[in-house]
């Protein structure tokens, strides 16, 4: 029987895991109030940057005594700023289970060259044994949601309340879609282009009072680049957390982030955003449950991401292939879908096991996900038919 081409396509076929889909109803005209051609240090610029910080606090429900800053170089810049400024005061546990977490391990071991470093890892699809992490006496660096594996921590109960060290959390694909346990987090970072679908190049860093204390009482043995410096003359550079960014931000990108934050408030704030992401995940959960040729990369249900959902093909005809052939098969499925205009940027991350990665954050509409699924089924059948022809 011929494989039937689906009759409909998603209205918005954008499922990239970064930059992510714009919020529903987005249009460039909504950014007409951007302070273009104006200095970000003029009152209009600083007011908009300060508003972005204030709305971030409101939507994410960040405690009043935590400081929020806008920093250069996206989430990567924010994480690097934290590690270069804060690590080295005591031993550090690096927790990694996918590409970005492993990248932070490399930076700490090979760039900062810290000697008292313990690495606690797990393969793609699994979480490390978090009981092995010493959150009592050591600093800890981890990702809340593994963007390239679709595996997230269930909560922060494994982090000690009476810890002496700091926790540095890369929350870039978790913030605005998953609930962050602020009392357990000392440094939290994310970027605008993830869950809220903002424009790239800007990162956010959120510091607890304990992180600020470390900044004021510890001086790293290495020189800090200008874009990493949060302390001047022994005092915290408060301007960073009031809208005085270290380098020049794009005011168009700032306006876009403000637009996304205002939308977030309209859909119910954090509660509404989490609800939307959870609803999207359930669409894929049902799809996986009804099809035995596909499954989640994340092994345990409670660790499965509701944003960067990673799937693997489990059909014996595919799993019997070599690793390179499985990668080629996954790319063919993605190509069929993209050529039909039914879904863009669905491929697995380059270092991850072959399969699909579908963004399900709050800016994605459930109806678009539902319209995508028949195309995944169609593309898989087409690619599998190609395997049969090669075998013949």
Does residue 179 lie in a domain region?
yes
* pLDDT(120) > 80: yes
Q: What is the mean pLDDT of residues 87-112?
A: 96
Same domain assignment for residues 354 and 253: no
- Residue 95, domain CATH: 3.40.640.10
* pLDDT(2) > 80: no
User: Which residues, at least 6 apart from 123, have a Cβ–Cβ distance to it below 8 Å?
Assistant: 97
DSSP letter string, 264-321: HHHTTHHHHHHHHHHHHHHHHHHHHHH-TTEEESSSSGGGB-SSEEEEEE--HHHHTS
Closest by CA to 97, choosing from 144, 59, 51, is 144
Q: How many structural domains are present in the chain?
A: 2
Cβ pair 5, 339 in contact under 8 A: no
Question: Looking at 265, 296, 323, which one is the last position of a domain?
Answer: 265
Question: Looking at 265, 288, 315, which one is the last position of a domain?
Answer: 265
Tens-place pLDDT, residues 280-320: 999 999 999 999 999 999 999 999 999 999 999 999 999 99
Reading the block at residue 217, the tokens are: 């009482």
Does residue 18 lie in a domain region?
no
Tens-place pLDDT, residues 228-261: 999 999 999 999 999 999 989 999 999 999 999 9
Same domain assignment for residues 184 and 56: yes
Same domain assignment for residues 231 and 126: yes
Mean residue pLDDT of the chain comes to 97
Does residue 345 lie in a domain region?
yes
Same domain assignment for residues 305 and 244: no
Does residue 23 lie in a domain region?
no
Question: Looking at 245, 265, 285, which one is the last position of a domain?
Answer: 265
Does residue 3 lie in a domain region?
no
Give, as one character, the DSSP assignment of residue 29.
G
What whole-number distance in Å separates Cα of residue 315 and Cα of residue 295? Answer: 10
* Tally of helices (H runs) and strands (E runs) in the chain: 9, 14
Same domain assignment for residues 219 and 285: no
Same domain assignment for residues 251 and 356: no
Same domain assignment for residues 189 and 76: yes
Does residue 15 lie in a domain region?
no
- Residue 314, domain CATH: 3.90.1150.10
Cβ pair 345, 335 in contact under 8 A: no
Can you give the residue range of the structural domain that contains 282? 269-391
Pairing state between β 139-143 and 294-296 = unpaired
Closest by CA to 170, choosing from 78, 81, 102, is 78
Same domain assignment for residues 164 and 213: yes
Same domain assignment for residues 107 and 144: yes
Q: What is the pLDDT of residue 1?
A: 47
Same domain assignment for residues 142 and 158: yes
Tens-place pLDDT, residues 9-43: 999 999 999 999 999 999 999 999 999 999 999 99
Tens-place pLDDT, residues 196-235: 999 988 999 999 999 999 999 999 999 999 999 999 999 9
**What is the Cβ-side half-sphere exposure of residue 256, based on CA atoms within 13 angstroms?**
23
Same domain assignment for residues 386 and 256: no
Cβ pair 202, 192 in contact under 8 A: yes
Does residue 7 lie in a domain region?
no
pTM reported for the whole predicted model: 0.97
Same domain assignment for residues 98 and 160: yes
């Amino acid at each position: 029987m011929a494989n039937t081409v689906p009759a409909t396509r998603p209205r918005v076929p954008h499922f990239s895991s970064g930059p992510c889909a714009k919020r529903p109803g987005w249009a460039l005209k909504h950014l007409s109030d951007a302070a273009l051609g104006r200095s970000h240090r003029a009152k209009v610029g600083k007011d908009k940057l300060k508003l972005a910080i204030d709305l971030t606090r409101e939507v994410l429900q960040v405690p009043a005594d935590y400081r929020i800053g806008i920093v250069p170089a996206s989430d990567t810049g924010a994480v690097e700023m934290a590690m270069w400024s804060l690590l080295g005061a005591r031993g550090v546990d690096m927790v990694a289970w996918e590409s970005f977490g492993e990248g932070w391990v490399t930076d700490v071991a090979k760039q900062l060259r810290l000697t008292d470093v313990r690495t606690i890892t797990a393969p793609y699809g699994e979480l490390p044994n978090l009981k092995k992490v010493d959150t009592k006496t050591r600093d800890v660096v981890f990702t809340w949601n593994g963007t390239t594996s679709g595996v997230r921590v269930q909560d922060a109960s494994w982090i000690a309340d009476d810890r002496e060290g700091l926790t540095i959390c890369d929350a870039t694909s978790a913030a605005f879609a998953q609930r962050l346990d602020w009392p357990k987090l000392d440094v939290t970072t994310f970027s605008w282009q993830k869950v809220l679908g903002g424009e790239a190049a800007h990162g956010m860093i959120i510091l607890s009072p304990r992180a600020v204390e470390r900044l004021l009482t510890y001086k790293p043995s290495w020189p800090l680049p200008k874009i990493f410096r949060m302390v001047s003359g022994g005092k915290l550079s408060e301007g960073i957390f009031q809208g005085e960014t270290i380098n020049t931000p794009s005011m168009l990108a700032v306006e876009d982030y403000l637009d996304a934050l205002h939308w977030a408030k309209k859909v119910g704030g954090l509660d509404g955003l989490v609800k939307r992401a959870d609803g999207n995940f359930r669409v894929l959960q049902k799809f996986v449950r009804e099809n035995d040729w596909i499954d989640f990369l994340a092994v345990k249900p409670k660790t499965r991401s509701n944003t960067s959902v990673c799937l693997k093909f489990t059909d014996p005809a595919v799993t019997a292939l070599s690793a390179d052939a499985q990668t080629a098969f996954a790319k063919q499925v993605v190509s069929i879908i993209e050529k039909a205009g039914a879904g863009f940027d669905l491929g697995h991350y380059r270092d991850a096991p072959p399969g699909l990665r579908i963004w399900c954050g709050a800016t994605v509409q459930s109806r678009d996900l539902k319209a995508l699924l028949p195309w995944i089924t169609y593309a898989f059948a087409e690619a599998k038919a190609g395997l049969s022809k090669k075998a013949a």
